[in-house]
Structure 1
């Protein structure tokens, strides 16, 4: 069984959750398996996605990772590629770590020769050909992704502290933008400022989305996922969505800045409405509140003649989690029948735009539901900012 070493958590070269926290997660998964009637569980991730693998083993998925869990036996973590094996053996905890061989799913099937009678649960983005191989080799698969998602909705105290650290790194990037951005820089240089602010402390990029456009003739209403060669000029507006990640957890902060000029009346109004919507949503967040109440709280957006493009609110911390909510004028999914619970993490992020979708702003941040309201994990001032 690979526990890396026995040094205290604080002394380890890699971030660590406590033994008690990992045991809590493992118990929750064993209970999930028992409820589903499965004797084995395959937890799968590939191409740096699949949050359940690091949640249970602390190994971040690189090319491919398959974690085979048996409640009364040893758990096995199979990884790709072979040269990742030494690092995985140092980082992963509570599992036997091995190379997956030429075919990951063929190796998984070898570990489950007698599993058909007990049932096999699966969490993660299994490909169709891998599903077929395993079904033919070991029997019917039972997908437990929805049940796993429910496990991730309410965060432990240790998870909240990890989110708080990730939020601090995300704040560093916004502070660096305020300090270092100059007219004439490209959006790509802006991305370099963001990543350079936290890399030396061990954080990595999760997302950095930007929109830059002239306030006098705007042509975009929501931050873009990829940066262009466009140069930022005096009189532009910049709005951004930034998440620095720290070992499986990311912050999320959304801010809007004007560049070297006074804001136009349109952007003042857009941001005033965004601030009002954010404050109204935050004022209703508490345990027991229904998801629809968050949407209803944002009515000021439509009352002022505007709408939204991005999500209004979404769950966070271990994935893009429920509730995912649009405003009343831009619903993207039915409002789920979900009540907030203490310990849930939410991103509140009103992206207020004009109906013609030519102008917009965005503000917001990651918060945690407390016993009496919401606690923001970020410390960068809100409001329409100015650079230069």
Structure 2
């Protein structure tokens, strides 16, 4: 069942040619960046992105970083946004705000260095960098200035707690994701392939102004399973009666996406193994949700997941991660499949997290996945998705 229409104030954003955050919101962001630069002892900052990667560029300018983009922030003058390729400049001029858009020239980083110098940077200055700048670009900056300071971790900390406007944009992404999941539920049938299911997702959000975050699918016979986690690249396997199909779907609105995970059986009830797997996944999901609220230490979330190992199962995917502007901390695995050292941090109101138990057999042949993106509040959590939880049978 498709979700209801968006509220009018959110629908209006999706209908705009170039959706915008308020001036007050952008000012808030630049104020946070100025504070970050002061704490790091840098006067000049390069914000970099390439091939749609680099969340700081759109966060500050609304430009989604198509091929390559470099934003120079200095104490003097408006930030400059250097864009590649030349044919991307006209749209960047239309979309980007709070900056002067220019072509990046033959060598974007060389252009950036000249821009810094023209605005007062000297060989004795330290240059801050946010974004996925490669070794070649970093080497050029290091040759031109006294030091290059990696500010990515500091920027990530800025993104953990979302503003009210950001949460509204995330709700639109969640709505797109719910539309896609509803489309899968309504159309999943024997004979389709995982590629077809990806197409169903895109037909659910592209006409409504959405963008593709991810659509990962896994399908396998419940009687002889060989897939434990949704695939990042879809197979061309034809779905058949008796299959389990599980998925992770993120539809996005200008980079702000929801994330929802569900499992389906096709023209058959779950086998006992799959019923046990999904019952365990739902139990751990609910156990984690019971401890979600501002002030919860991350270690309490791992402790809440012990039902997985108690049931004789394990996990493949991460159990929970922060969300909104990237794959953010805290990234948490299960006791039997850790994601590294448990982060020494507590949850804060305004964080968004994806709770996504992917419960699998120990031998890795079978698995299910469920969960979704949740908003942390002072007293608990809030769902931003509307698609119903549970193990769904189609047909």
**Pairwise same-fold verdict (TM > 0.5):** yes
Partner of 1:222: 229
> Within 5 Å, which residues of 2 pair with 1:225-304?
225-304=232-311
Structure 1 CA distance, aligned partners of 2:112 and 2:379? 46
TM-score when normalising by structure 1: 0.96
Q: Tell whether 2:387 aligns with 1:380.
A: yes
Partner of 1:4: none
Q: Tell whether 2:28 aligns with 1:21.
A: no
Query: CA separation of 1:156/1:306 partners in 2, compared to 1, >3 Å: closer, same or farther?
Result: same
Partner of 1:199: 206
Aligned partners of 2:125 and 2:146 also within 8 Å: no
Aligned partners of 1:10 and 1:16 also within 8 Å: no
Q: Tell whether 2:322 aligns with 1:319.
A: no
Q: Tell whether 2:109 aligns with 1:102.
A: no
Long gaps (5+) in structure 1: 1-7
State how many pairs are aligned: 381
Instruction: Look up the SS of the partner of 1:184 in the other structure.
Output: coil
Q: Deviations for 1:139-158, whole angstroms, at most 9, x for unmatched residues? A: 31111001000000000001
Structure 2 CA distance, aligned partners of 1:201 and 1:33? 39
Structure 2 CA distance, aligned partners of 1:372 and 1:340? 11
Instruction: Look up the SS of the partner of 1:314 in the other structure.
Output: strand
Q: Deviations for 1:200-256, whole angstroms, at most 9, x for unmatched residues? A: 111111111111000000011011100111000010000000111110211100000
Structure 1 CA distance, aligned partners of 2:75 and 2:286? 46
TM-score when normalising by structure 2: 0.95
Structure 2 CA distance, aligned partners of 1:270 and 1:11? 42
Q: Deviations for 1:235-278, whole angstroms, at most 9, x for unmatched residues? A: 00000001111102111000000001111011111101100000
Partner of 2:39: 35
Offset, 1:13:
1.5
Instruction: Look up the SS of the partner of 1:328 in the other structure.
Output: coil
Q: Deviations for 1:171-200, whole angstroms, at most 9, x for unmatched residues? A: 000000111222101111111111111101
Query: CA separation of 1:165/1:238 partners in 2, compared to 1, >3 Å: closer, same or farther?
Result: same
Aligned partners of 1:50 and 1:125 also within 8 Å: yes
Offset, 1:138:
3.1
Query: CA separation of 1:34/1:192 partners in 2, compared to 1, >3 Å: closer, same or farther?
Result: same
Instruction: Look up the SS of the partner of 2:207 in the other structure.
Output: helix
Q: Tell whether 2:77 aligns with 1:70.
A: no
Aligned partners of 1:286 and 1:371 also within 8 Å: yes
Structure 2 CA distance, aligned partners of 1:126 and 1:359? 39
Structure 1 CA distance, aligned partners of 2:379 and 2:193? 43
Structure 2 CA distance, aligned partners of 1:347 and 1:9? 24
Q: Tell whether 2:314 aligns with 1:310.
A: no
Structure 1 CA distance, aligned partners of 2:315 and 2:165? 34
Partner of 1:121: 128
Aligned partners of 1:112 and 1:138 also within 8 Å: no
Aligned partners of 1:63 and 1:80 also within 8 Å: yes
Q: 2:220 aligns with which of 198, 213, 226?
A: 213
Structure 1 CA distance, aligned partners of 2:41 and 2:358? 43
Offset, 1:72:
3.6
Q: Tell whether 2:88 aligns with 1:84.
A: yes
Q: 1:161 aligns with which of 159, 162, 168?
A: 168
Q: 1:171 aligns with which of 178, 181, 185?
A: 178
Offset, 1:10:
8.6
Instruction: Look up the SS of the partner of 2:229 in the other structure.
Output: coil
Aligned partners of 2:14 and 2:209 also within 8 Å: no
Structure 1 CA distance, aligned partners of 2:144 and 2:76? 22
Aligned partners of 1:185 and 1:232 also within 8 Å: yes
Offset, 1:74:
1.6
